[in-house]
């Protein structure tokens, strides 16, 4: 099995890269998706979040109100740290379970927005960073999520800076261009990952 950590700044296109890798045969484990699962109604995670932040972060139906929670944690680093202490361990446990269920010899790609910030770079055989120019990143966030400049700045500030991500990268995908360019770059990345998997298999003999 080849274990790949895939990361990038918000709005960089990590999900697009993951979708393309899945099309090539990668097993994708998305931390953002797992983070949603661990706070579904009835889970210990949601109960812990509600206990920490109060009913203001719940909808009338008892689900997590993500917009309300975001308003709290992106304006208060200490609140964000409290949320991460609840969610991150549960996400890592679920990710480990999903990885164990992957077929032998798989290329397993863990999509982790905060890979650098949480010190997980050394946990993977290869770290791939999806990179974009800051102006492109901001434009995408404004268009995709309808965020204001101050909201965009808060979300970018909550992550490692661009240089910090690039310093831990074993491979970099530039996603400043169009979808066709990205597809070509990911196809080339896939070939490199397959080759690395073969190197690991030879080394294990």
For residue range 7-25, list pLDDT tens digits in order: 998 889 999 999 999 999 9
Q: What is the CATH number of the domain that holds 166?
A: 3.40.50.300
Query: What pLDDT, on a 0 to 100 scale, did the predictor assign at position 107?
Result: 97
Are the CB atoms for 182 and 17 separated by under 8 Å? Answer: yes
Residues 69 and 11 in one domain: no
For residue range 62-97, list pLDDT tens digits in order: 999 999 999 899 888 899 999 999 999 999 999 999
The domain of 93 spans 33-104
Query: What pLDDT, on a 0 to 100 scale, did the predictor assign at position 94?
Result: 95
Residues 14 and 45 in one domain: no
Q: For all residues of the chain together, what is the average pLDDT?
A: 91
Best CA proximity match to 192, nearest among 178, 173, 166? 173
Residues 145 and 182 in one domain: yes
Going by C-beta distance under 8 Å and a sequence separation of 6 or more, which residues neighbour residue 201? 105
For residue range 112-144, list pLDDT tens digits in order: 998 998 899 999 999 999 999 888 888 888 887
Percent share of the chain, pLDDT over 90: 71
Residues 119 and 201 in one domain: yes
């Amino acid at each position: 099995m080849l274990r790949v950590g895939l990361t990038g700044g918000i709005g960089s296109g990590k999900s697009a890269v993951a979708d393309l890798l899945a099309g090539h045969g990668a097993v994708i484990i998305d931390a953002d998706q797992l983070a949603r699962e661990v706070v579904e109604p009835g889970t210990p995670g949601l109960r812990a979040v509600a206990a920490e932040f109060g009913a203001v972060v719940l909808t009338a139906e008892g689900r997590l109100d993500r917009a309300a929670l975001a308003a709290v944690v992106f304006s208060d680093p200490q609140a964000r740290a409290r949320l991460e202490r609840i969610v991150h361990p549960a996400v890592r446990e679920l990710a480990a379970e999903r990885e164990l269920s992957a077929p032998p010899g798989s290329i397993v790609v863990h999509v982790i927005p905060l890979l650098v910030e949480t010190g997980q770079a050394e946990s993977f055989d290869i770290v791939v960073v999806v990179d974009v120019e800051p102006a492109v990143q901001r434009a995408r966030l404004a268009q995709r999520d309808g965020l204001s400049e101050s909201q965009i700045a808060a979300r970018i500030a909550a992550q490692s800076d661009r240089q910090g991500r690039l310093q831990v990268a074993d491979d970099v995908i530039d996603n400043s261009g169009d979808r066709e360019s990205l597809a070509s770059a990911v196809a080339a990345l896939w070939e490199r990952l397959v080759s690395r998997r073969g190197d690991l298999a030879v080394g294990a003999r």
